[in-house]
Structure 1
Amino acid sequence: QPGAQTGIDKALRLDTTVMLVDDPVKRVDNMTMAWGLEARVPFLDHELVELAARIPAEHKIRDGGKYVLKEAARRLIPAAVIDRPKGYFPVPALKFIRGAYLDFVRDVLLQPRARQRGLFRTGYVDTLLAEPESHITPLRGSKLWQITLLELWFQQHGL
């Protein structure tokens, strides 16, 4: 779509028009309605999103990201809160793959069609399978689980 000139703006355009609609917003809505709660997603107010879209890309990613928001909040929120590392909420069973999850992963990745597809280097897959808990992404997820999901998607779609 026109108007997104930089890679950052193109990615954010995709997030706001596709990803947010089907993921966190829908989840918040479904979970709160299921329990009779009202919730708001204040950073998704259309006027705030439109303002944020007009900010130059270099300010959006400056100093590790969210620069404008962090600077605006400094008068209200302690720096220790603003500058702390981002927290993640991985599902432990899918980060530390063992037991039935490891059996499932092996079933998916060791199928002949997975090997014949050639999407992943066989030696690397074998390395991941040999030490399933030792290969973690920068966001602290399992590399093994991620390639398993991609391969499973291919299998389920007959590709």
Structure 2
Amino acid sequence: MCGISGEFRFDNQAADLAAVERITHHLAPRGPDAWGFHAQGPIALGHRRLKIMDLAEASGQPMIDPDLGLAMVFNGAIYNYPELRGELESLGYRFFSGGDTEVLLKGYHAWGADLLPRLNGMFAFAVWERDRQRLFLARDRLGIKPLYYSLDRSRLRFASSLPALLKGGDIASDLDPQALNFYLNFHAVVPAPHTLLEGVKKLPPATWMSVDLDGSCEQRTWWTLDYGPRPDERELTLDDWQER
């Protein structure tokens, strides 16, 4: 378990690194082993690390690749990263660490959002594209790893927990009546994108979001669970089902 955070400004102001530091330090229980920050112009990223898969410093975060123009913070585990690494090496990518973080970063460079269906794992991550001045965030199929955000006319902030996000300050904390209704009727369950606060949302499971420097935002669902019958079962009669 790790913790990620960040701020992206689209009001011609530099990102508030101090706010990101406050948010990140509140995530310390999620990542007691190391922490790091990256700030450049409108973007600031923070990370708290729990060392599990690759203990080397080369897998520290935020992970930055100046040649690719990418910076990333990531919480989770990619179980099929060795296979993905092999594919990327066949495309000419070189690796300098042994874990899944660098595979995720370079996989995003190679395939963009099309990387997501290739991933077998649990994850929430954010990638800053320096040349396009765009922030890309994504969450795993079932929403195992959390990702909260606050978006207004001037900035986007995100974090792995709602209490940590509030530590950055300047976020509306009025109750969301619809979310409160969900909470009371569904026994403390508040479905995404809602949270109990109007100023904070949850990125839904199996969803990616991109935000550009002009503040324009796009969200897409990249995976859905098929609840319908299998194609070979569509023509079965009642007698067929009873025989089964």
Q: With structure 2 as the length reference, what TM-score do the two structures score?
A: 0.22
- Ranked by relative contact order (alpha carbons within 8 Å, sequence separation 6 or more), the top structure is 2
- Higher strand proportion, which one? 2
- Higher helix proportion, which one? 1
